[in-house]
């Protein structure tokens, strides 16, 4: 057996996330690859949430529909996932939930848990059963359970370990034969999700100030940074609202920090005026925006790629910006770090656009590379002028207290000293100075990545988090002349992209929104036909199967 796809499904509050966390770690410690992603309702108790885990002896990086093993923890779990089940899907759960299914296996999680003193140990039983079925490393199971409950005291730890071991024994006896080949190289890898990657990327990029207001799915980045605040010297403040957060981060850069704001579309909507301020006073800001479906509060816990237009056009007036859209966990790390350098160098807003799917998905990555922290602060002298007009549009940026000069920034149009002006010639010179930066910004843009045959006829275009899903989907088209072009920087678009489009007979955009926002941007940038689009906007992440099917239908192959 090469791969097992396990789905754990139950009510919010039943500890599905605990199983996800524990099992992913046990899998990794058993020398197997794992990919885990969750979908959940916007509620704290009840409903139905699920986690999909792909466990494999080969690398796995993307979401799939297929379920090999469905672990059911509440009554509506099966119905919600029936469309993902096949004739060979095994359904595992308490008798009352699974008895009507053809391939069912009864395990009385709660009863077993109770025999160790408390129903709430059912998570540990479930983790143990799954580990037993796949013959995962029993010591890894023990170790991870102990670590997970370390703050709860010996009694709870021991009860959970015993419950898990009992589950393990049961799982092995079920005779489901789902044992996988192990792979030692996994030991050198790290289990990360997108949120952790963005936070680690921020730290690698020298982030030392974060102010935000909680909003799913971006809050985990905030929490991760708070956890690292002592060891990495990061100023952390939960602002009273997003408006305060964005203004704080801009002022923090002004004073010499490297600041991040992490938010979602609804929160970012409130920050638009501040983005415009950053544009005018040419103070850097890095914004991480974890997308979820809108408009307004939308589907708070689900996923979408529909805020590209928002960040593209956020803020009144005209000023340069950069938008990254990482396609992988590794890129979430690298591009977040890079965002700090680019914001610093060009004194502009830089956006890292992720989404719930990327932020909440885990897989194994190699050690993350060390990133260079490039600071572009000058020591000022007495004649310092903050907005010196330069050829490339970049004025030397000083900070208060470093050097003799005064650092004077003004949201009104201003002259080189930062002083308010209504002079039409100064206005013109300043607009041009600010926009001139775009020349260099475009030159330094990340070119798109092409995969697949060089002599392609069909070009599938994606951006952001769908990258690895499309990559896997295209594995089933190897005999066709189909290539994949992925954009990790969606604005400004690197000029080299145009050639890729022109070479193709057909270009198909895949996006997780209803209007094809990136296709529209490409159309507008290169004046080419981008009308072929595969779009999804139901709030759920694409799966490998869905993308493969959609491409097959389009191409009639």
Catalog residues that contact another protein under the rule CB under 8 A: 206, 208-209, 211, 229-230, 233-237, 239-241, 243-245, 247-252, 254-257, 259, 273-274, 277, 281, 373, 375, 377, 399-402, 404-412, 418-420
- Provide the minimum distance between the beta carbon of 201 and another protein in the complex, in angstroms, as a whole number: 18
> Which residue number, 250 or 325, has a Cβ lying nearer to another protein?
250
Q: Which is nearer to another protein, 42 or 421 (CB)?
A: 421
Tell the smallest beta-carbon distance from residue 89 to another protein (Å). 48
Closest separation between CB of residue 176 and another protein, Å?
48
Q: Which is nearer to another protein, 171 or 405 (CB)?
A: 405
For 50, list phi and psi in degrees, rounded to 5: -150, 160
Q: Which is nearer to another protein, 382 or 478 (CB)?
A: 382
Name which of 419 and 494 has its Cβ closer to another protein. Answer: 419
Q: What are phi and psi of 88, to 5 degrees?
A: -100, 5
CB of 370 to another protein, least distance (A): 15
DSSP state of 215: -
Pull the structure tokens for residue 220.
């985990």
Q: How far apart are CA 19 and CA 312, in angstroms?
A: 39
CA-CA-CA-CA torsion for 383, 389, 391, 396, nearest 10 degrees? Answer: 50
User: Cβ neighbours of residue 335 under 8 Å, at least 6 residues apart?
Assistant: 201, 324, 326, 352, 488, 489
Which residue's CB is nearer to another protein, number 256 or number 539?
256
Min dist CB 394 to another protein, Å, is 19
What does the H/E/C string look like for 118-147? CHHHHHHHHHHHHHHHCCCCHHHHHHHHHH
Give the tokens for residue 343: 């914001």
In whole angstroms, how close is the CB of 425 to another protein at the nearest point?
16
The three-state (H, E, C) secondary structure of 311-329, written as one string: HHHCCCCCCCCEEECCCCH
Q: What are the tokens at 320? A: 């340069």
The DSSP line for 228-254 is: THHHHT-EEEE-SSHHHHHHHHHHHHH
- Closest CB 234 distance from another protein, rounded Å: 6
Of the candidates 529, 462, 469, 473, the one whose C-alpha atom is nearest the C-alpha of residue 498 is 529
Supply the minimum distance, in Å, between the C-beta of residue 211 and another protein.
Answer: 7
Q: Is-contact 73 9, C-beta < 8 A?
A: yes
Cβ 421 to another protein shortest distance, Å: 9
> Which of 52, 208 has the CB closer to another protein?
208
> Which residue's CB is nearer to another protein, number 315 or number 448?
315
Q: In angstroms, give the least distance from the CB of 372 to another protein.
A: 12
Which tokens is 453 given?
A: 């045959």
Report the 10 Å Cβ neighbour count for 59.
15
Within the chain, what is the greatest distance between any pair of CA atoms? 84
In whole angstroms, the minimum distance from the beta carbon of 375 to another protein comes to 7
What residues have CB less than 8 Å from 499, skipping those under 6 apart?
A: none
| Nearest CA-CA partner of 257 in 286, 230, 282 | 286
* CB-nearer residue toward another protein: 402 or 500: 402
Cα separation values, 23 from 157, 172, 345, Å: 17, 16, 43
Which CB, 237 or 330, lies closer to another protein? Answer: 237
Question: Which residue lies nearer to another protein by CB, 120 or 378?
Answer: 378
Residue of 242, 339, 238 whose CA lies nearest to 284 = 339
71 membership: H or E segment, kind and range: strand 67-72
Specify the residue, 282 or 360, whose C-beta has the smaller distance to another protein.
Answer: 282
Give the integer Cα–Cα distance in Å for 393 and 464: 30
- Name which of 161 and 339 has its Cβ closer to another protein: 339
Three-state secondary structure call for residue 499: helix
Supply the minimum distance, in Å, between the C-beta of residue 252 and another protein: 4
Beta bridge partners of 38: 51
**Contact criterion met (CB below 8 Å) for 106 and 93:** yes
Please list, in sequence order, all residues whose beta carbon lies within 8 angstroms of the beta carbon of residue 410, skipping any fewer than 6 positions away: 280, 281, 418, 419, 420
CB 149, CB 156: distance < 8 Å: yes
What's the closest the beta carbon of residue 295 comes to another protein, in angstroms?
23
């Amino acid at each position: 057996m090469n791969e097992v796809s396990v789905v754990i499904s139950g009510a919010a509050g039943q500890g599905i996330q605990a199983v996800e966390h524990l099992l992913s770690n046990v899998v990794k410690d058993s020398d197997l690859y794992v990919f885990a992603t969750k979908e959940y309702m916007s509620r704290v108790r009840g409903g139905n949430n699920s986690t999909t885990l792909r466990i494999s002896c080969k690398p796995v990086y993307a979401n799939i529909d297929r379920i090999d093993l469905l672990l059911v923890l509440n009554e509506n779990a099966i119905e919600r996932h029936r469309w993902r089940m096949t004739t060979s899907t095994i359904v595992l759960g308490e008798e009352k939930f699974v008895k009507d299914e053809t391939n069912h296996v009864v395990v009385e999680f709660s009863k077993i848990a109770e025999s160790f003193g408390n129903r709430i140990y059912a998570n540990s039983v479930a983790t143990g059963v799954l580990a037993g079925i796949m013959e995962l490393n029993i010591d890894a199971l023990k170790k991870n359970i102990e670590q997970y409950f370390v703050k709860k005291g010996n009694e709870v730890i021991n009860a959970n370990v015993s419950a898990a071991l009992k589950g393990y024994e049961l799982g092995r006896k079920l005779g489901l034969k789902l044992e996988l080949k192990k792979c030692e190289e996994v030991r050198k890898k790290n289990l990360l999700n997108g949120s952790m990657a963005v936070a680690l990327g921020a730290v690698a990029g020298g982030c030392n100030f974060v102010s935000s207001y909680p909003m799913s799915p971006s809050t985990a980045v905030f929490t991760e940074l708070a956890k690292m605040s002592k060891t990495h010297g990061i100023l952390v403040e939960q602002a009273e609202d997003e408006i305060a957060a964005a203004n704080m981060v801009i002022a923090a850069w002004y004073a010499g920090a490297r600041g991040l704001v992490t938010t979602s579309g609804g929160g970012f909507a409130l920050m638009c005026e501040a983005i415009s301020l950053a544009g005018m006073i040419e103070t850097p800001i890095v914004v991480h925006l974890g997308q979820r479906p809108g408009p307004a509060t939308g589907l708070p816990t689900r996923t979408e790629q529909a805020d590209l237009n928002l960040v593209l056009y956020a803020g009144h007036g005209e000023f340069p910006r950069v938008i990254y859209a990482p396609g992988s966990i590794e890129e979430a790390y690298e591009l977040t770090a890079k965002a700090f350098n680019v914001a610093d160098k060009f004194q502009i807003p830089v956006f890292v656009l992720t989404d719930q799917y990327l932020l909440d998905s885990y897989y194994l990555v190699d050690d993350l590379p060390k990133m260079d922290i490039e600071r572009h602060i000058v020591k000022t002298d007495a004649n310092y002028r903050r907005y010196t007009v330069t050829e490339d549009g970049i004025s030397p940026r000083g900070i208060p207290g470093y050097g003799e000069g005064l650092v004077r920034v003004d949201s009104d149009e201003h002259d080189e000293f930062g002083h308010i002006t209504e002079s039409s010639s100064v206005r013109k010179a300043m607009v041009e100075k600010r926009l001139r930066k775009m020349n260099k910004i475009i030159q330094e843009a990340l070119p798109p990545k092409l995969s697949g045959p060089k002599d392609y006829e069909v070009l599938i275009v994606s951006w952001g988090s769908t990258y690895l899903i499309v990559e896997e989907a295209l594995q089933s088209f190897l005999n066709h002349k189909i290539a994949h072009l992925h954009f990790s920087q969606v604005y400004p678009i690197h000029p080299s992209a145009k050639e890729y489009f022109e070479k193709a007979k057909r270009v198909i955009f895949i996006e997780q929104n209803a209007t094809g926002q990136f296709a529209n941007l490409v159309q507008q940038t290169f004046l080419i036909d981008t009308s072929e689009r595969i779009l999804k906007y139901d709030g759920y992440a694409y799966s490998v199967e869905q993308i493969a099917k959609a491409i097959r239908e389009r191409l009639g192959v």
